[in-house]
Amino acid sequence: MTATAQSKTSRAWLDDMVIALRDAVMVTGACFAVGLLSNQVRPDGIPLVAAQEYEIFAPCPEPGGEIDSVAADAPILFAEDTFVVDARSEQEFDVWRFRRPANVPYDYLEPTPEETLQRLAKTIARSRARRVVVYGDGDVPDTGEQLATEISGHGIKHVSFVTGGAPALRASNEAGGDR
């Protein structure tokens, strides 16, 4: 192909692009005009300029009550009047657990069922425990901390979570032996 023929082909391609761009601008302008016109005709049309600032942050209420944290070697973990709850999955619970905990797997996407929390509250009341300690997976966020907040929010008092969760408890028990 000669330079002149190639120049004509490039020029035709460029002309086609300009025409396509012009058509796109015209269609966009027509759609915009129709949108503005239909908005003006509607009695409850959307204002083009806001009369007041829009609220873009709506804080969600955090379910739960007050909790505190305890270290993995805290003496209250070994007290007879402490009720222990494991917030990890059943599979993790079956592999290793601290003392004789109740297993209430915590799911970040689903709230703990009301029946489960009521059953747990009855079990805690029957045990005559003076405090509840929850441990989880030790991640950030920790399932133990999240479940402890949820339990406390359902009226159970003196709820704590283990900082570092099951990994910290396991390491503490291996270092100090089972008590």
The domain ranges of the chain are 1-58, 68-176
pTM over 0.75: no
Beta strand pairing call for 131-135 and 102-103: unpaired
pLDDT > 90? residue 86: yes
pLDDT > 80? residue 48: no
What's domain 68-176's architecture? 3-Layer(aba) Sandwich (3.40)
Residue 138 confidence class, pLDDT cut points 50, 70, 90:
very high
**Residue type (1 letter), 73:** D
Distance of alpha carbon 75 from its chain centroid, rounded? 32
**Residue type (1 letter), 29:** G
Q: How far apart are CA 40 and CA 57, in angstroms?
A: 29
Residue 78 confidence class, pLDDT cut points 50, 70, 90:
very high
- The pLDDT score that the predictor gives to residue 59 is 63
Task: Convert the pLDDT of each residue in 98-131 to its tens digit.
Answer: 989 999 999 988 889 999 999 999 999 999 999 9
What angle, 0 to 180 degrees and rounded to 10, lies between the N-to-C axes of helices 143-153 and 114-127? 80
